[in-house]
Amino acid sequence: MLSPDEIARLVPAEEEKVRSPIPTRAISSDEFFPGRQTEKQKEFEKRVQRLGLELAKKQGQSRRRFFQGAAGMAAAFVAMNETFGPLYAVSMAEASTPEMANERASQLKDQFIMDMHTHFLRDDTRLEGFVRSREAVGKASWNPALIDKPQSLDDLKFANYFKEIYLDSDTKVALISGSGSEDPRDWFLTNAMKAQARQTINRESGSKRMFSHAIFMPGTAGWLDKVESDYENLKPDSFKGYTIGDNTNKHLSKHPWRLDDEKLLYPFYEKLTKWSKTTPSLANVCVHKGLYPPSVTAQYPHLLEYADVRDVAKAAKDWPNLNFVIYHSAFRYTGGTWNLGWEQFTRTGRIDWVTDLSEIPKKYGVKNVYGDLGQIFAQSTIAEPRLCAAMLGQLIQGLGSDHVVWGTDAIWTGSPQWQIEAMRRLEIPEDMQKRYGFMPLGGPNSEVKQAIFGKNSARIYHYSSEKQKSLIGDAVSMAKSHYDQFGDGRTNLRYGYMSI
């Protein structure tokens, strides 16, 4: 996790004064140090504030209320285009006309979106960095409302998670993920907690709205026995691991591992192959990769070889009946180093380690490697959308549009609705398409976007059309309908850390 010295240099994302529908700066949990606001992000922030105020006044609303609606979301993308260039399909007419924006939103609200990369924190978490940051804001008098006021992590817990995912966004189905640690106290959620949350939501909704991971930690004492126990008692939908070992406390990481370690991992794959005959979704091996910028490399150089994708191809080739789902698509340059990714692409046409991942199927003749978007989309969209377009272009070109899956890493960056809208509106620039041979993404409901949003995950998690139909009229859909009519709307809050 972030060190006390690093936390002292940050402030809670909830204290961001500009509640734009699209974040105006990088937000982090404890996975990476968030970079400072870039000049382009400052420019976007000024544009979206000015445009939001202007349009809100014309509509007789406060700017905050305007930004909670569909027209406010459209205005934010107008400001994005004015700042970064015309990458998003949006018009000033949509931003200026609530009826037009609402009609578009209504037409897309039933789009099937399966977000297989989400998080919240356990009630007894000791990851108190969030709390300490909020208290520091009060002590420093940056926010008078926080002075001498006890702070909590409630925004990062289950109740708010449910609201942000299911009521404030068009997400239909989600998977609760997590992160393990050498110290049991620092797991985001235990595997049992994830399973319990899944059971609660699915029982109350009357349909299968929620999936859950079980975290596996190869090399730790009794890890295979724990895998067996989790399979028998928790019935996870799939397993997830971190090849660098302890990602939360990298200084404690004693058990990094490789996907192609025949002695350590292959017995686990044998179990998954066996179990997947009765539970097909257990064929999905979900693996955190990337998010390892130069600053982290310098601090923990011994873990670098485990953070990239050099171990993916052999494992995929040796186990063709398993799917290797690479989280964050192994993108390296998090936080304040997004510019390094863009500079690398413009100079060489490559992006660490997204390009390497996308080249695996052709180089090694495999068809079972998938790229999850996660932070690759959440952060690059707001820092350098052209880089986001380039990465999507490479992943689709190399893995195939049927092997890229939707994940938002929410709720760190708040409700995932802004990410959904960004994907719906994003197009790879024509000059980039021509130069690199990228295929266009198409309109908001194109075949490519439908595949990424939900069809691909539905296929590999065996989520049938019958199960999808069962979502119509269940308790969650009724709650969302009521919320859309009478609720307060999105807060546009983010939850995590941001640079001062």
Statement: residue 128 has pLDDT above 70: no
pLDDT, residue 157, reads 75
- pTM score of the predicted model: 0.88
Q: What is residue 37's predicted lDDT score, i.e. its pLDDT?
A: 74
Residue 379 — very low, low, confident or very high, per pLDDT cuts 50/70/90?
Answer: confident
Nearest to 184 by CA among 220, 159, 238, 213: 220
Mean pLDDT (whole number) for 195-221: 97
Residue 153 has pLDDT above 90, yes or no: no
Q: Report residue 5's pLDDT band, with 50, 70 and 90 as the boundaries.
A: low
Residue 136: is it exposed, middle or buried by C-beta count within 10 angstroms (0-12/13-18/19+)? Answer: middle
pLDDT tens-digit map of 484-500: 888 777 765 555 555 55
End-to-end CA gap in the chain: 19
Which one has a higher pLDDT value, 38 or 343? 343
Residue 435 has pLDDT above 80, yes or no: yes
> Is residue 488 within 8 Å of residue 67, measured between CB atoms?
no
Mean pLDDT of 73-77: 93
- Identify the band that residue 13 occupies on the pLDDT scale cut at 50, 70 and 90: low
Residue 74 is predicted with a pLDDT of: 95
Between CA 51 and CA 477 the distance in angstroms is: 33
Instruction: State mean pLDDT over 370-388.
Output: 90
Residue 30 has pLDDT above 60, yes or no: no
pLDDT in tens, 90-107: 999 999 999 999 999 999
Residue 150 confidence class, pLDDT cut points 50, 70, 90: very low
Q: How far apart are CA 96 and CA 71, in angstroms?
A: 7
Average pLDDT, rounded, for the chain: 88
Q: Report whether 148 contacts 137 (CB < 8 A).
A: no
CA 349 – CA 343 distance, rounded (Å): 9
42 CB-near residues (< 8 Å, 6+ apart): 24
| Residue-level pLDDT at 427 | 98
What tokens does 270 get? Answer: 């044998």
Tell which phi-psi region holds residue 258, choosing left (phi > 0), alpha (psi between -120 and 50) or beta.
beta
For 322-334, the pLDDT digits (tens) are: 999 999 999 999 8
Q: Is the four-CA dihedral 218, 219, 224, 229 of positive or negative sign?
A: negative
Q: What are the sequence ranges of the domains in the chain?
A: 4-110, 114-479
> Rounded CA gap, 272 and 320, in Å?
12
Distance CA 380, CA 329 (A): 12
341 close to 385: Cβ distance less than 8 angstroms: no
CATH superfamily of 114-479: Metal-dependent hydrolases (3.20.20.140)
Structure tokens at 189: 């959620």
* Residue percentage of the chain with pLDDT more than 90: 69
Which pLDDT score is estimated for 146? 41
Tell me the per-residue pLDDT of 235-244, one tens digit each, with 9 for 90 and over. Answer: 999 999 999 9
State residue 248's pLDDT score: 87
Alpha helices in 37-119 (DSSP H): 39-58, 63-67, 70-84, 92-96, 98-108
pLDDT at residue 188, as a whole number? 85
Q: Report how far residue 390's alpha carbon sits from residue 338's, in angstroms, rounded to the nearest whole number.
A: 13
By CB atoms closer than 10 A (0-12, 13-18, 19+), residue 39 is: exposed
Q: Alpha carbon of 60 to those of 53, 68, 101, 177, 485: distances in Å?
A: 10, 14, 16, 41, 19
| Tens-digit pLDDT profile for residues 440-463 | 999 999 999 999 999 999 999 999
